[in-house]
Amino acid sequence: MSFEEKMDNAKNRVAGKAKEIGGKVTGNKEREAEGKAQSMMAKVKDNAIHAKENIEETADNVKDSAKGFVKGAREDSQKEIDK
């Protein structure tokens, strides 16, 4: 997650919480709901970005493991040929 994305999501969480509290204080249910929704969307976006990063890391690990497996299989095959 880029620094800009983190800051944008943090801004949306804070702004949403402020709207939510403002709505509660003034009795404005619509503003309160809007604030909750804004905060939740920022959290969802954070979670989606973290999930994407985890998937990319897992894919890299699988790729590295596959390369290691192929290298090992080639070495084993070469040893059998050299016998």
Q: Give pLDDT tens digits for 19-71.
A: 999 999 999 999 999 999 999 999 999 899 889 999 999 999 999 999 888 88
Predicted local distance difference test score (pLDDT) of residue 79: 77
- CA dist 40 and 46 (Å) reads 10
Predicted local distance difference test score (pLDDT) of residue 19: 96
Q: Are 80 and 72 in contact (CB under 8 A)?
A: no
Count: domains in the chain: 1
Predicted local distance difference test score (pLDDT) of residue 1: 66
- CA dist 23 and 21 (Å) reads 5
Domain residue limits at 8: 3-82
Predicted local distance difference test score (pLDDT) of residue 82: 76
Which of 1, 24, 53 has its CA nearest to residue 10? Answer: 1
